[in-house]
Amino acid sequence: MTTTLITGASSGLGAEMARQLAAAGNDLALCARRTENLEALRAEIVAANPDRRVVIAALDVTDDAAVFEVFRGFAAELGGLDRVVVNAGLGKGAPIGKGRYDANRETAMTNFIGALAQCEAAMELFREARRGHLVVISSISALRGMPKSMTVYAATKAGVAALAEGIRSEMLGRPDLDITVSTIYPGYIRSEMNERVEQKTRWMVDTETGVRSMVEAIEKGVDNARVPGWPWKPLGTAIRHLPLRAVRKLT
């Protein structure tokens, strides 16, 4: 039995990961700012999977002390954590220099500094247990710099991918620690973050389909995965290597 903690689990990709991981046999520790959503999600999951343990807690990942407190509390309540999914994030943003530093800073603090706190708290528990699986949710947008309102968001997702790779590199040199680090790069998956976007986006898939590909990669414990595999495995390679003008047309 695997015990998985998911941050940002009250809606969108986090909530759907919780549903699918519970169906795959995971006990769950779910946290987010909106506890009423978590309570409804827990009731839904337990109704569908009566044997699953699902515990919840309120958490704002920009509150450093709370991140450590909630992670340790979950570990104590559940007898340890096997996996932590660093998922909580914001999609706010504006073109640089357009007077919305507040929105860009909020995105940076949540998506990178918040992720750093989560990685620190998770790795403390995993080092103590000498085992664990750290999963960091990045984005296809992390592969290159993105324009306009995506600039800071993409930069934060590139940052968390580099953070995960650095931790993975250290773990490769520690045969005494059985700690796996996975970086997931979702492509265009419908979620609460983008549900208000009215224009049709090429290659967008529904939440359930997109998250299924994420969960498959997570359960396999891969180092890196661009998901869904089609079109993002080949398209991600193109995004990484094409001239920037061509990348703008693709994305």
Domains in the chain, number: 1
Burial 128-167 (b: 16+ CB within 10 A, else e): eeeebbbbbbbbbbbbbebeebbbbbbbbbbbbbebbeeb
Along the chain (251 residues), what's the average pLDDT of each consecutive run of 10 residues?
Answer: 96 97 98 96 97 97 98 98 97 94 97 98 98 98 95 98 98 95 96 54 87 98 96 92 86 72
Sign of the Cα pseudo-torsion (36, 62, 251, 19, in order): negative
pLDDT of residue 203: 77
Q: Which residues are catalytic?
A: 153
* Tokens (6 digits) for 146: 């993105």
Domain of 151?
Answer: 3-250
Measured distance CA(181)–CA(29) in Å, rounded = 19
pLDDT of residue 200: 55
Measured distance CA(177)–CA(180) in Å, rounded = 9
pLDDT of residue 193: 56
CATH of residue 130: 3.40.50.720
Phi, psi dihedral angles at 28 (to 5 degrees): -130, 140
Non-local (6+) Cβ contacts of 89 within 8 A are 8, 110, 111, 114, 115, 137, 156, 193
pLDDT of residue 199: 45
pLDDT of residue 251: 72
Peptide bond into 231 cis (omega under 30): yes
pLDDT of residue 250: 77
